[in-house]
Amino acid sequence: MRLARLLPLLLSLWFAARAADPFVGKWRLNIDKSDFGNEPIAKSGRTTYKSQGDGYMYESETDFGKGNTMRLSAPQRFDGTAYPGVLGGQDIVFVSKRIDVASYKVLIAAKRSSKVTQVFQYRVSSDNKTLTFSWWKLGEDKPFLQLVYDKA
């Protein structure tokens, strides 16, 4: 009897927690707040997070003009699984690691060596209105690319 009363409460709490996830939704690139370093400045961009199991499906598209578009699409799971992928035409493996509820990082390694060479870090602001993507090359003291997105 007690379980029958408790179950609806637990389910509603679970759904509320999923709905409050700061990453889930659509984001638009804020070119003025982004730092492209030595890379070409983008014309536009968007990112979308969809809840999927214990993580997300992440999709991103950044248009640099003249037919040069960077697309990323990958599952973000925080279970320690290494997933295969392609980045810059190279075969890679990547592992996503949760930092806290509003941030995570993706460790990227060359498929052949399994040595981490790059790190993507994603962070949502405390007001849930800004998403920052930082792309680090291992050994560098600052990200070589930092994209800032506003909640769409």
Note the pLDDT tens digit of each residue in 83-126: 999 887 889 999 999 999 999 999 999 988 889 999 999 999 99
Assign 1 to helix, strand or coil. coil
Q: Global pTM?
A: 0.84
User: Residue 29, exposed/middle/buried by CB under 10 A (0-12, 13-18, 19+)?
Assistant: buried
Dump the DSSP string for 61-130: EEE-STT-EEEEEEEE--SS--EEEEETTEEEEEEEEEEETTEEEEEEEETTT--EEEEEEEEE-TTS-E
Q: How far apart are CA 24 and CA 13, in angstroms?
A: 17
Q: Is 128 left (phi over 0), alpha (psi -120 to 50) or beta?
A: left
- Tens-level pLDDT at each residue, the chain (152 residues): 555 555 554 444 444 444 579 999 999 999 999 999 998 999 999 999 999 988 999 999 999 999 999 888 999 999 999 999 988 788 999 999 999 999 999 999 998 888 999 999 999 999 999 999 999 999 899 999 999 999 99
Helix (H) or strand (E) holding 58: strand 55-63
**Number of residues that this document lists for the chain:** 152
Q: Are 146 and 122 in contact (CB under 8 A)?
A: no
Structurally, at CATH architecture level, domain 23-151 sits in Beta Barrel (2.40)
Identify the pLDDT of residue 87: 85
Domain ranges across the chain: 23-151
Query: Which amino acid appears at position 97 of this protein?
Result: K
Identify the pLDDT of residue 58: 94
User: Residue 84, exposed/middle/buried by CB under 10 A (0-12, 13-18, 19+)?
Assistant: exposed
Identify the pLDDT of residue 8: 56
Identify the pLDDT of residue 17: 47
